[in-house]
Amino acid sequence: MSAADSSPSVLLGVAGGIAAYKSVELLRRLTETGHSVRVLPTASACEFVGVATFEALSGQPVHTGVFADVPSVPHVRLGQQADLVVVAPATADLLARAAHGRADDLLTASLLTARCPVLFAPAMHTEMWEHPATRDNVALLRARGAVVMEPASGRLTGRDTGPGRLPDPAEIADLARLLLERPDALPHDLHGRRVVVSAGGTREALDPVRYLGNRSSGRQGYALARVAAQRGAAVTLVSAHTAELGDPAAVDVVRVGSARELREAMVAAVADADAVVMAAAVADFRPVVRADDKIKKGSGAPAPRALAVNPDILAELVRSRRAGQVVVGFAAETGDATGDVLHHGRAKLARKGCDLLVVNAVGDGQAFEVADNAGWLLGADGSETELMTGSKALLASRVWDAVVARL
Ligand code: C5P
């Protein structure tokens, strides 16, 4: 924690790549969510973004070298006092210097004195990211416990595209918060695994403009996909109506609309998956007929619409799963006269037959459309773990721990 108050003390390292301009948005997000941020740019980063920008937005002085403010010994003190170091963008050169323990500027010196979690968000051209030298440096940093994010894919500086884009600043901020909540939340333990996650809420069309839907924002499913990708898994995210959420870095996103489309996408994706998580809110019913034209108001009461039952995708995935595949379901529950949330959760786990069930209490502003989540993780083996209130990424990290233990 910073000396002056109890806000977490974050060092934001910025290396010299064109993506340095995005570090300004990350800085903004980190300060707005209550972090005390000290920016450590490299000399090259200052070719891209002015020191005044970092100083104004962080409210703290900004130096690149180790010879400014010598009496306070910043090259040792800053790292020692930090709760988290985030380096975004981390260039190939910065990763090389960090991997080899160089201390030739304030940022790399601070990386050597920091004992807190360190998060690198790489950004470079695909050739540099894929070069054996960079691969070795990344492996070395990960082996020592640093979190090196998988970069996003897409348009790079010029006309070229491929892996190497800086992950979205919102995503970096999300993982930064996760590491402050739980420093060991992102081990690279899903490397070589394939996982499939569903997210969002299906919509069942009544006519060209109306649908039966639900309030799921998709954020929990996106957090599950993001955390799995950063723990090394190859991830397919089947996403239903999550328009305002950006694609997580290094995740293959398949967009669907209705429950039946979601079912089709899941069945196609899970064939060779090691784990499947059904976080989507699937509509249980759909109109038997979708009107071709907009249903008119007419006079008096509306004509009743017949509903058909949608397939239970989770139950089907459990029935047809391949040997060793771990299947996780979600249950949004409210307590009632017949039992509490946990009671209904246990019954649902037995009914669905999945390996793990995350049970959330819903209603009264809980779970839906909010950043935080809490609940219980129930295992078919009888285990029960309380998931304390925290970010959706924190809940995701607990789910993946349980999945890894069963793989
Ligand atoms: O039965 P209930 O809808 O509460 O079950 C929730 C779980 O089942 C979630 O994991 C959800 O994704 C899944 N589900 C499904 N197909 C449905 C309804 C729910 O896969 N038609």
Q: What would the pLDDT profile of 188-218 be if each residue is shown by its tens digit?
A: 999 999 999 999 999 999 999 999 999 899 9
User: Would you state the pLDDT for residue 115?
Assistant: 97
Are both 209 and 130 inside the same structural domain?
no
Asked if residue 400 has pLDDT above 90, the reply is: yes
281: CB partners within 8 A, 6+ apart: 200, 201, 202, 214, 215, 216, 332
Q: How confident is the model at residue 301 (pLDDT cuts 50, 70, 90)?
A: confident
Within a domain: 188: no
Domain that holds residue 261: 194-406
15 has a pLDDT exceeding 90: yes
What separation in Å is there between the alpha carbon of 186 and the centre of ligand 1?
A: 28
Q: What is the CA radius of gyration of the chain?
A: 24
The C-alpha torsion from 309 through 310 and 314 to 316, rounded to 10°, is: 90
Q: Do both 29 and 160 map to the same domain?
A: yes
What is the pLDDT confidence band of residue 74, given thresholds at 50, 70 and 90?
confident
Please indicate whether residue 282, judged by its CB atom, sits closer than 6 Å to ligand 1: yes
Residue 366 has a pLDDT of 62
Ligand 1 neighbourhood includes 314 CB (under 6 angstroms): yes
Here the CATH number for the domain that contains residue 315 is 3.40.50.10300
How many CB atoms within 10 Å of residue 195? Answer: 29
Q: How far is the CA of 194 from the centre of ligand 1 (A)?
A: 22
pLDDT at 299: 67
265 pocket-lining for ligand 1 (C-beta < 6 Å): no
Residue 241 is assigned to a structural domain of this protein: yes
Asked if the structure places residue 3 within a domain, the reply is no
Nearest CA to ligand 1 atom 2: 331
Same domain as 373, residue 334: yes
pLDDT score of 371 more than 80 = no
Whether pLDDT at 114 is above 80? yes
Q: Give the closest residue (by CA) to ligand 1 atom 8.
A: 314
Boundary of a domain, candidates 181, 205, 228: 181
Q: Report the C-alpha gap between 350 and 380 in whole angstroms.
A: 7
> Does position 387 have pLDDT exceeding 70, yes or no?
yes
Residue with tokens 């954020």: 219
φ and ψ of 255, to 5 deg: -95, 135
Give 313-343 pLDDT, tens digit per residue: 999 999 999 999 999 999 988 888 888 889 9
For ligand 1, atom 6, which residue shows the shortest CA distance? 331
pLDDT in tens, 28-37: 999 999 899 9
Query: Does residue 366 lie within any of the structural domains?
Result: yes
Residue 154 confidence (pLDDT): 84
CA 142 to chain centre: 18
The dihedral sign for the CA sequence 188, 176, 386, 213: negative
Measured between alpha carbons, how far is residue 150 from residues 90, 101, 138, 183 in Å? 11, 22, 10, 18
Q: Are 228 and 120 members of one domain?
A: no
Is residue 162 domain-shared with residue 50, that is, in the same domain? yes
- Same domain? For 168 and 225 the reply is no
Pairing status of strand 152-155 against strand 161-165: antiparallel
Question: What percent of the chain is predicted at pLDDT more than 90?
Answer: 82
d(CA 40, CA 33): 19
Examine the domain organization and report whether 207 and 334 are in the same domain.
Answer: yes
Task: Give the DSSP letter string of 140-169.
Answer: HHHHTT-EEPPPEEEE-SSS-EEEEEPPPH
Between CA 151 and CA 155 the distance in angstroms is: 12
Q: Is residue 1 part of a domain?
A: no
- Total count of domains within the chain: 2
Among 2-6, 146-150, 257-261, 299-303, where is mean pLDDT lowest?
A: 2-6
Residues 6+ apart with CB under 8 A from 387: 358, 373, 374, 375, 376, 377, 395, 398
Portion of the chain with pLDDT greater than 70, in percent: 96
**Distance (Å, rounded) from C-alpha 86 to C-alpha 175?**
10
> In this structure, are 40 and 116 located in the same domain?
yes
152-155 and 147-148 beta bridge pairing: unpaired
SS3 305: coil
Task: Give the pTM.
Answer: 0.94
Pick from 191, 95, 106: which is nearest to 146 by CA? 95
User: How far does the centroid of ligand 1 lie from the alpha carbon of residue 350, in Å?
Assistant: 13
Nearest ligand 1 atom to the CA of 330 is 10
**Do 47 and 119 reside in the same domain of the chain?**
yes
User: What distances in angstroms separate CA 87 from CA 68, 90, 243, 301, 308, one per listed residue?
Assistant: 21, 6, 29, 61, 52
Q: Mean pLDDT of all residues in the chain?
A: 93
Half-sphere exposure of 126 (CA within 13 A, CB side): 11
Residue 312 in contact with ligand 1 by CB distance below 6 A: yes
Determine which residue's CA is closest to atom 4 belonging to ligand 1: 331
Q: 214 catalytic, yes or no? A: yes
Among residues 137, 214, 360, 373, the one annotated as catalytic is 214
Whether the CB-CB separation of 226 and 396 falls below 8 Å is answered with yes
Q: Tell me the pLDDT band of 5, cut-offs 50, 70 and 90.
A: low
Nearest CA to ligand 1 atom 5: 331
- CATH number of 131's domain: 3.40.50.1950
Same domain, 155 and 292: no
**pLDDT confidence band for 368 (50 / 70 / 90):** low
| Whether residue 158 sits in one domain with residue 200 | no
Nearest-atom index, ligand 1, CA of 329: 10
Q: Is 331 in the pocket of ligand 1 (CB under 6 A)?
A: yes
Where does a domain end: 147, 181, 215?
181
Tens-place pLDDT, residues 80-94 = 999 999 999 999 999
Residue 2 inside a domain? The answer is no
Which atom of ligand 1 lies closest to the CA of 313?
20
With respect to residue 4, please indicate whether it lies within any of the assigned structural domains.
no
Same domain, 142 and 237: no
- For ligand 1, the distance from its centroid to the CA atom of residue 100, given in whole angstroms, is 49
Highest mean pLDDT (candidates 147-161, 245-259, 285-299): 245-259
27 in a structural domain: yes
**Atom of ligand 1 lying closest to residue 316 CA:** 20
Is the distance from the beta carbon of residue 330 to the nearest atom of ligand 1 less than 6 Å? yes
Residue 115: CB atoms within 10 A of its CB come to: 8
Average pLDDT over residues 124-134: 97
Give the residue from 160, 181, 202 where a domain finishes.
Answer: 181
Does the pLDDT at position 158 exceed 90?
Answer: no
Taking the CA of residue 328 as reference, the ligand 1 atom at the shortest distance is: 10
